[in-house]
Amino acid sequence: MYFETEIKLMGKLKKYKIFTELYDTININNKKCLVETLTYPNLEKLLTFCNGKFSKITVYKIGAEILRCIQIIHSNGYLHLDLKPDNMT
């Protein structure tokens, strides 16, 4: 059920350029997988690249973008239930 819901949400979010685009779904070893556009590094990797420290302005910009994404998801009738740096690109 979760997989189908994610596919449906990605279809709704494709009009917003800030989200990844779904290309296909495939089965690998009896597990359903999404094939999506490649995005920039996640925040955890970006923080490592920046020697473990973001500037204040970078933190403000990242926070604003994350809030914008969450607001768009909410305005489409969904909640993001797995917010963590690995899921932020």
DSSP state of 40: S
* Active-site residue set: 82
Name the packing angle between helices 2-13 and 56-75 (round to 10°). Answer: 110
CB 73 within 8 A of CB 13: yes
